[in-house]
A and B are shown apart, each in its own frame.
Chain A
Amino acid sequence: MARISLKDVRKSYGSTDVIRGVDIEIEDGEFAVFVGPSGCGKSTLLRMVAGLEDITSGTLSIGDRVVNDLPPKDRKVAMVFQSYAIFPHMTVRENVAFGLTIAGASKAEKDAKVAEAARILQMEPLLDRRPSQLSGGQRQRVAIGRAIVRKPEVFLFDEPLSNLDAALRMDMRMEISKLHKQLGTTMIYVTHDQVEAMTLADKIVVLKGGEVQQIGAPMELYHHPVNAFVAGFLGSPSMNFLDVEVVEANGDAVTVRNGALDPVTVSRASGDYVAGGRALLGIRPQYLVPAADEAASALHGTVGLAERLGTETIVDVALKDGKSLIAALSQDAILEMGAPIGFTFDPAKCHLFAARSA
């Protein structure tokens, strides 16, 4: 077990900067999730922790050792790859025991440890099969088995569920969560899926363009995103952003409005707003409440497409100013396309961000 610390870590391929100075601290036993859109550098960062990519500059420590120049084999990490990367010419047993074989473990030791890993992952019946005889989910288990059998100090997962179908993905997500509780080992998990991030993480690291956007517990990031990117990335459906005009800025209270929005006063978390300037108002779809009386509402539009999911209704709303937004109504509702609709919302649940740069 070990804590991991990245200090001003950078990575460039020639003149392309892929990781642009990243500071992350992961506590011993923590489940950290790196999340961000495709191409933001998640895998690169993970592979640097594993030792598969050189670190251009900065300091990477695992435990109390600086590991910048240590080869992967000396880092006491185990990794589960997106493609599973199990060896096709070996049986499941040989795959799981690979690290032990390499380390010269005795047959008795290997048998005992493989048996235990197989028990934890419920794959005893598979041990003598070849990878070509396994389904995607089973291959995944083998890859995880190979990782846990060596008792590494850190587990690294690179989008391990992205090749599985939706139902299996949910099962495996829960199993990975259980595994973490059972083993208590530090884990870093990379995904572009915010649901995986929200459900698995003790600590989420949101990345974009090779830079850390925000680090924190899932709910902290959900409720207090520091910028529009984080706010929009976490939560489903995504947060709505309204381009608004600042009517009045009075201490922490900022009043904003636009063509579809009656003036509303929200409290600012950060940033400078001046009367007459522009800003971005973020409202999660769940916090929009349809007003019984259109006149009493703060936000005006007409009903577009509605998706009825039973527990929830997702409505696409065409706003009066020509923009659109998504509302998630908490019960089943029958809405007529084109009918006028108005919403109220709690200003305390809104987020104010700097305007998008033109």
Chain B
Amino acid sequence: MAMISGENHGLRLAVRYAVLGLIAVIFIFPLVFMVVSSLKPDQQLLLDTKSLRAFLPVGDISLDNYVAAFQRAPVGLFIFNSVLVTGATVLLSLLVCSLAGFAFVFINWTGRELVLGIILATLIVPFETIAIPLLLLMSKLPWLGLDGLTWGWLNSYRVQIVPLVADGLTIFLFVQYFKDLPGELIEAARVEGATWWQIYRRVVMPLSGPILATAAILKFLIMYNQYLWPLMVVQDESYRPVMVGLQYFFQLNRAWGEIMAYLSLITVPVLGFYLVLQRAFIASIASTGVKG
């Protein structure tokens, strides 16, 4: 009996791994294609797509496409801009949205249901519908910078960051998570003399590792993939993010190899972000003991 159930178990495991492997392959192949193609001259790249050679680094392999990509566009600057804008927005968003969620769940104030309802209602408003009014608003906002008071936020980092920091979805995620935290923990902290800020800092945030990681991933993906908004508000190349930078490669004399090289380059920060966050995610679950 034991033998049979053991074999059974082994078989089930094998099937599970096979399915997982297949899914992994489906996800990975486009990436492999991208990286492999970035190493090939255009003619070979197009020919290879007719066979499995498309996924193999064979034939005339070189880094020429990367060199050409850097010549065609300030790739490093675009990546820097995107990482800066995305990083700043993610951090600010975690702060602002978690504070908002905290206020909605733990603090009793008149009108909180109504305000939360309005914020949640914004979830069904597509960004495109508010893009133009938002653009007009941004073009008129004041800014006190190194060269004194100026008007209009267009062509800057802040115009890509500030309007996108707070969003209904992230606030909603925090609200849901906070509602599930044991309320007596917060009450105990209040009786112990903690201020709201101390409760946020010392009790709620240390227990929020999983939701911080989740919200950060979502926000990162949304921000790193920004296209429409920066296209509208940034004409100056020096503030341009990676997705808008892709345009450079679809103009005259389109070169697929260079496009693949550019895409490979702008994927690197995403992978880096994932690795860092995954480790933080696991560490936070292990240390808070929220699970188990």
Task: Please list the residues of chain A having a beta carbon within 8 angstroms of any beta carbon in chain B.
Answer: 47, 50-52, 71-73, 77-79, 81-83, 85-89, 98-99, 101-103, 130-132, 146, 150, 156
Contacts and interface: CB of A to CB of B under 8 A. Distances in A.
B203 A132 contact: no
A194 B148 CA distance: 73
A102 B194 contact: yes
B289 A132 contact: yes
B194 A73 contact: yes
Interface string B144-168: 0000000000000000000000000
Contact of B185 (A78, A85, A101, A150): A85
Given A88-B288, A89-B207, A78 B187 contact: no
Contacts of A81: 184, 187-188
Given A87-B203, A88-B207, A88-B290, A146 B187 contact: no
B111 interface: no
A78 B190 CA distance: 10
Nearest to A73: B193
Contact of B184 (A77, A83, A101, A150): A83
A73 B289 contact: no
Nearest to A130: B289
Given A87-B185, A88-B290, A89-B288, A99 B192 contact: yes
Most buried by B among A72, A89, A150: A89
A102 B200 CA distance: 12
The range of chain B's interface size is: 20 to 34
Nearest to B195: A73
B191 A102 contact: no
B292 to A, nearest CB: 8
Most buried by B among A52, A82, A131, A146: A52
Contacts of A103: 193
B73 interface: no
Interface in B273-290: 287-290
14 contacts: A50-B191, A51-B191, A71-B190, A72-B190, A72-B191, A73-B191, A73-B195, A82-B184, A85-B184, A85-B185, A88-B288, A88-B290, A130-B289, A131-B289
B189 interface: yes
B182 A99 contact: no
Given A81-B184, A103-B193, 9 more contacts: A72-B190, A73-B190, A83-B184, A85-B188, A87-B203, A98-B189, A102-B193, A150-B192, A156-B191
A89 B189 CA distance: 13
Contacts of B189: 87, 98, 102
Contacts of B202: 98, 101-102
A86 B203 CA distance: 10
Nearest to B189: A98
A52 B190 contact: yes
Most buried by A among B188, B194, B195: B188
B185 A52 contact: no
B15 to A, nearest CB: 35
A24 to B, nearest CB: 20
B291 to A, nearest CB: 10
A77 B191 contact: yes
A47 B207 CA distance: 24
Interface in B173-215: 182, 184-185, 187-195, 198, 202-203, 206-207
A145 to B, nearest CB: 12
Contacts of A156: 191
Given A85-B185, A87-B203, A102-B198, A78 B191 contact: yes
